[in-house]
Structure 1
């Protein structure tokens, strides 16, 4: 299902473990500040960035496939043209319930594949903005 309503977004924000693909180690970048905000609000944020060893004092993984822990949400901070491959990696996992692309990022075909596989999809929305608006 593609999430549009506030109630559906609230449900997507109830999950606890978020793998952030494209997580940045650079403060001031959205791909760093949004996951930092989520960590500060109690979410378990798993950084995915093949060019970093550690982000937020936690091991950064090269890909979703390298993560042994359970993942509820895959949050994507990569260009739209990379979304398809990331969604395919997410669909290889049985534990991912939500695929969320950040503001300005979307791939309708990849979103359709995720929905067809029973995953919840949020496209082009900022988790921090929606969390501030609906949860805090």
Structure 2
């Protein structure tokens, strides 16, 4: 069952390294502004976007498989029908602890697969909103 409790959300928000799948280069888009907010609030943001070389002065990776750094949380800014493939990529790594899908994004089957493999899942919630509500 996806994470819902404030205590668990606070624990997840205490993790430092967040890979943002679908991170945007376009200011004003949520997929740009929310990762920027996270970066400005002390998180290490790893942009994942095959159409960009760099975002926020950081290397943008084509996929989760290409990320060399350790990943704590995979934050998904892609349509719900792409979540399953992203979960597959997260499960292929041995360092991901959480898959978080942003507002309006969810895939119950992919969430169950991730949970069955030992990952925690947060669906249909905004990292920035939850950070402001529970941490700031």
Q: Does TM-score exceed 0.5, indicating one fold?
A: yes
1:42 aligned to 2:42?
Answer: yes
- After superposition, residues 3-42 of structure 1 pair within 5 angstroms as 3-42=3-42
Q: Secondary structure at the match of 1:75?
A: strand
Q: Which residue of 2 aligns with 1:72?
A: 72
Distance 2:2 2:15 in 1: 16
> TM-score, normalization: structure 2?
0.99
- Give the gaps of 5 or more residues in structure 1: none
Distance 2:42 2:101 in 1: 20
- Give the gaps of 5 or more residues in structure 2: none
**How many pairs were matched up?**
136
Distance 1:127 1:67 in 2: 21
Q: Which residue of 2 aligns with 1:59?
A: 59
Q: Which residue of 2 aligns with 1:128?
A: 128
> TM-score, normalization: structure 1?
0.99
Q: Which residue of 2 aligns with 1:85?
A: 85
1:2 shift after superposition: 1.8
Runs of 4 or more consecutive aligned structure 1 residues displaced over 3 Å after TM superposition: none
Query: RMSD value over aligned CA atoms?
Result: 0.6
